[in-house]
Amino acid sequence: MIVSKPKRTTIFSLVVFTLVCGFGSLYFLRQILSDPVGTWRYIVFGILVLTTTILLSKLLFGYKVIKISHDQVHIYYPFRFFKTVQDIGNLGAWQETIVNTNKTEFKQLKLVFLNKGYVKLSNQENSDYDKVYKYVKRKAPKKEVKE
């Protein structure tokens, strides 16, 4: 059984940055309530609230666990209360995108199913990325989409 879920370092860094933005927005809210003069405080407060909201939604709704075993792909979104099981035969297409950056290589694997959407994995955000890639390449080689 292959289990791919977000790495702890990714979750930790997103949580820390979300907390910093959240406390920064609370600080600017306190400043605005005590002294409402200064338009720049409203602008910084708005940017921090927007950033906090986007990061929080990324954390909660983007968290996914993918389990692959016995020619089935189990996709589970715990904060959305959504779970689906797809056969590897229902895989319509898959594609690996590789982007070379300065020091590292970013890889993203996109699995598109025939009846219920798609799921994306990346080597920097998800654990066991290489195992998932090798499994999909072995089980569905003809469904690979070349760039």
pLDDT tens string 73-104: 999 999 999 999 988 888 999 999 999 988 88
Q: What is the SS3 assignment for 53?
A: helix
pLDDT for the residue numbered 64: 93
Q: What are the backbone angles phi and psi of residue 24, rounded to the nearest 5°?
A: -65, -40
* Domain limits, the chain: 2-61, 66-143
pLDDT for the residue numbered 103: 85
pLDDT for the residue numbered 14: 93
pLDDT for the residue numbered 5: 92
Put simply, whether the predicted model's pTM sits higher than 0.75 gets the answer yes
Residues with pLDDT less than 50, the chain: none
State CA 60 to chain mean position distance: 10
pLDDT for the residue numbered 101: 86
- C-alpha–C-alpha distance, residues 46 and 38, integer Å: 13
